């Protein structure tokens, strides 16, 4: 706990200043080493440039499908990583899945594998949800915040995280702590809308995860009761599409032996059973789009539907699409099996099929992840900050770290802090950039010593 805070609280309670000093001595925080102090000072010195970099990359539109914009962000970030001694390469995905690609950077241990402590994997992304068609395009300071809060597309999710990562690495370099580190960086260009199959689009990330000992995902962080938080788990993101069929005929004959119930009733039956039979801890499932009638179809992107029909005609086709979010891959397998079972129990004279699109697996809450929280809390104590809190997995979405979670422990949300991600008006707390960069520089340095 911050010593000033301890003193203030004790003074408020009527305890003498001498008593408070003695109390602080009993719970003294681990002192920063000279190298760690140098890193902290380097972050502060770098902060004006970091804020300028944030504004620069936020003002580059890099919506996932704006491939040129994602590449433009890469062109700003890559030289800064190279200047730190990393060997970089650009893995284009445009020909494969119409996505921009991944930036991969490697800083191998100069003494050879295993000679530099933990091998670190830093994960992030360069794209945002805001395409060029969005009205939300520019960085600006939020009025009335004394210059402490900025808004802009991707300002916290996660261009602020890119800046935090770079600031931490620059501080390590300035203090001489980076020279003996073993670090790989993988920045995807399509985290907000991943290319498929993910076995190809996340191949480099998974390969790096298998060679690493710790993964840190620089997505936006959060706060709980005013105290900074991280995540130790992420839920999956799995799309599903349901197609129901039925016999078409005159509406006066519906429910009868010849025509049965029609496709729309079959679709409704399935969705209602999902609603009543699927709920369990850690699971959410959503229906995002639905059409049905004499004809029905979705567009190629799955974002629009068109249907035709008449009130006196039994519908032969009905479609629905949605997603499920799970806290473990075991839960995913079990829920998908239950959904298939429900779909297969057809009403008379109807049929239905369901297909799943695996976008992101789940990242389970593990002892290894919790151990990293303890190490981060020790860093906080050295910096005079409160112990970090762990956010509820249900309050967050999916992310790239889940692809490497089976191979390596990790932390989520070690980037900039803000609010309103994925919505116009997204904000970042500018003070959080330096605070997070100091934490990450110290954490990476300490992990590299073990």
Question: Going residue by residue through the chain (450 aa), what tens digit of pLDDT does each one get?
Answer: 333 333 333 333 333 333 333 333 334 446 899 999 999 999 999 999 999 999 999 999 999 999 999 999 999 999 999 999 999 999 999 988 889 999 999 999 988 888 899 999 999 999 999 999 999 999 999 999 999 999 999 999 999 999 999 999 999 999 999 999 999 999 999 999 898 899 999 999 999 999 999 999 999 988 888 888 999 999 999 999 999 999 999 999 999 999 999 999 999 999 999 999 999 999 999 999 999 999 999 998 888 999 999 999 999 999 999 999 999 999 999 999 999 999 999 999 999 999 999 889 999 999 999 999 999 999 999 999 999 999 999 988 899 999 999 999 999 999 999 999 999 999 999 999 999 999 999 999 999 987
Instruction: Kindly compute the dihedral angle of the four CA atoms of residues 28, 34, 37, 38, in this order, to the nearest 10 degrees.
Output: 180
Task: Report the pLDDT value the prediction gives residue 30, as an integer from 0 to 100.
Answer: 64
Q: Cα separation of 202 and 259, whole Å? A: 47
Cβ contacts of residue 50 below 8 Å, gap of 6+? Answer: 163, 166, 167, 433, 434, 437
Task: Report the pLDDT value the prediction gives residue 280, as an integer from 0 to 100.
Answer: 96
> 450: which DSSP letter?
-
Task: Report the pLDDT value the prediction gives residue 12, as an integer from 0 to 100.
Answer: 35
- Strand ranges of the sheet holding 227-230, from the earlier edge strand across to the other edge: 222-224, 227-230, 389-390
Q: What pTM was computed for the model?
A: 0.87
Distances in Å between the alpha carbon of 33 and those of 25, 283, 383? 18, 45, 11
Its CATH class, for the domain covering 237-360, is: alpha beta
Q: Cα separation of 35 and 110, whole Å? A: 19
Contact of 391 with 222, CB cutoff 8 Å: yes
Contact of 404 with 207, CB cutoff 8 Å: no
Q: Where in the chain is the domain with CATH 3.30.70.360?
A: 237-360
Task: Report the pLDDT value the prediction gives residue 358, as an integer from 0 to 100.
Answer: 84
Residue 421, Cβ neighbours under 10 Å: how many? 20
Which CATH code fits 33-234+363-447? 3.40.630.10
Q: Where in the chain is the domain with CATH 3.40.630.10?
A: 33-234+363-447
Q: Under the phi-then-psi rule, with left for phi > 0, alpha for psi from -120 to 50, and beta for the rest, what region is 319? A: beta
| Helix ranges (DSSP H) in 247-328 | 262-277
Residue 422, Cβ neighbours under 10 Å: how many? 13
């Amino acid at each position: 706990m911050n010593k000033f805070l301890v003193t203030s609280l004790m003074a408020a309670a009527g305890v003498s200043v001498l008593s408070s000093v003695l109390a602080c001595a009993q719970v003294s925080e681990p002192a920063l080493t000279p190298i760690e102090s140098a890193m902290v000072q380097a972050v502060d010195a770098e902060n004006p440039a970091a804020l300028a970099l944030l504004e620069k990359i936020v003002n580059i539109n890099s919506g996932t499908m704006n491939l040129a914009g994602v590449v433009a962000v890469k062109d700003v970030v890559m030289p800064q990583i190279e200047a730190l001694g990393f060997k970089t390469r650009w893995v284009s995905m445009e020909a494969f899945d119409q996505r921009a690609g991944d930036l991969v950077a490697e800083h191998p241990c100069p003494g050879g594998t295993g000679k530099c402590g933990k091998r670190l994997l830093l994960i992030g992304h360069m794209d945002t949800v805001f395409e060029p068609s969005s009205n939300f395009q520019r960085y600006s300071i939020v009025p009335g915040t004394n210059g402490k809060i900025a808004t802009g597309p991707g300002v916290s999710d996660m261009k602020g995280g890119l800046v935090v990562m770079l600031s931490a690495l620059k501080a390590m370099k300035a203090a001489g702590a980076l020279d003996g580190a073993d670090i790989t960086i993988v920045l995807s260009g399509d985290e907000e809308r991943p290319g498929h199959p993910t076995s190809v689009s996340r191949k480099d990330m998974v390969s790096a995860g298998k060679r690493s000992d710790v993964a840190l995902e620089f997505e936006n962080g959060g706060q709980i009761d005013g105290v900074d938080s991280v995540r130790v788990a992420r839920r999956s993101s799995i799309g599903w599409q349901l197609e129901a069929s039925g016999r078409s005929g005159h509406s006066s004959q519906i429910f009868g032996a010849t025509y049965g119930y029609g496709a729309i009733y079959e679709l409704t039956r399935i969705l209602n059973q999902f609603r009543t039979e699927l709920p369990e801890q850690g699971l959410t499932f959503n229906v995002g789009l639905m059409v049905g009638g004499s004809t029905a179809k979705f567009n190629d992107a799955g974002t629009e539907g068109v249907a035709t029909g008449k009130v006196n005609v039994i519908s032969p086709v009905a479609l629905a699409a949605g997603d499920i979010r799970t806290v473990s891959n075991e839960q995913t397998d079990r829920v998908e099996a239950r959904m298939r079972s429900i779909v297969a129990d057809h009403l008379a004279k109807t049929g239905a099929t369901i297909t799943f699109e695996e976008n992101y697996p789940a990242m389970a809450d593990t002892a290894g992840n919790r151990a990293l929280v303890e190490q981060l809390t020790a860093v906080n104590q050295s910096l005079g900050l409160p112990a970090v809190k762990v956010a509820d997995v249900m309050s967050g979405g999916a992310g790239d770290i889940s692809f490497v979670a089976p191979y390596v422990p990790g932390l989520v949300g070690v980037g900039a802090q803000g609010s309103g991600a994925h919505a116009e008006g997204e904000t970042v707390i500018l003070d959080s950039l330096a605070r997070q960069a100091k934490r990450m520089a110290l954490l990476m340095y300490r992990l590299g010593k073990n």
